[in-house]
């Protein structure tokens, strides 16, 4: 317990103004707003961060996007913010399979992309081709290969 009577436990965070906020609220996270909106740190009450405007037209390099969690992240990103311009996805070659072949044969067919498949129907493959470029590389090699 500190001298002012408050504890500094791991369940809260201190904002830059020294105020203690529970569960990371000092960092601008506001679960009441949903996936597309985050509370902004500003002096005006109710200010929000427009993630559509933030992500729209942006290009991302994704490292670690071929495992379950990575696929889930970029699938969610494209499902909620299709205005993202493009993802460059680092894909490790496997055996005689090129990064491109592995992307289309092992990564895209997984169930994590079912919501995108349902949303885009016959245009799903065209959408993925438009939004994602598999790039051959390996994180264990210098400069990712």
**Confidence at residue 40, expressed as pLDDT on a 0 to 100 scale:** 46
**Confidence at residue 58, expressed as pLDDT on a 0 to 100 scale:** 95
If phi > 0 it is left, if psi is from -120 to 50 it is alpha, else beta; for residue 143 that is left
**Confidence at residue 92, expressed as pLDDT on a 0 to 100 scale:** 93
**Confidence at residue 30, expressed as pLDDT on a 0 to 100 scale:** 41
Contacts of 71 (CB under 8 A, 6+ apart): 65, 107, 110, 112, 113
Low-confidence ranges of the chain (pLDDT < 70): 1-45
The structure's pTM equals: 0.67
């Amino acid at each position: 317990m500190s001298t002012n009577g408050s504890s500094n436990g791991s369940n809260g965070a201190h904002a830059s103004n020294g105020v203690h906020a529970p569960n990371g609220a000092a960092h601008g996270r506001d679960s009441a707003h949903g996936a597309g909106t985050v509370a902004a740190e500003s002096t005006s009450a109710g200010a929000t961060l427009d993630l559509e405007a933030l992500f729209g037209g942006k290009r991302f390099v994704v490292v670690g996007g071929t495992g379950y969690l990575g696929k889930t992240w970029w699938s969610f990103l494209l499902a909620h913010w299709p205005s993202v311009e493009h993802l460059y996805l680092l894909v490790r070659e496997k055996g005689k399979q090129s990064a491109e072949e592995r992307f289309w044969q092992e990564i895209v067919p997984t169930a994590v992309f079912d919501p995108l498949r349902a949303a885009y129907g016959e245009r799903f493959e065209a959408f993925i081709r438009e939004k994602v470029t598999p790039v051959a590389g390996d994180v264990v090699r210098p400069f990712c290969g």
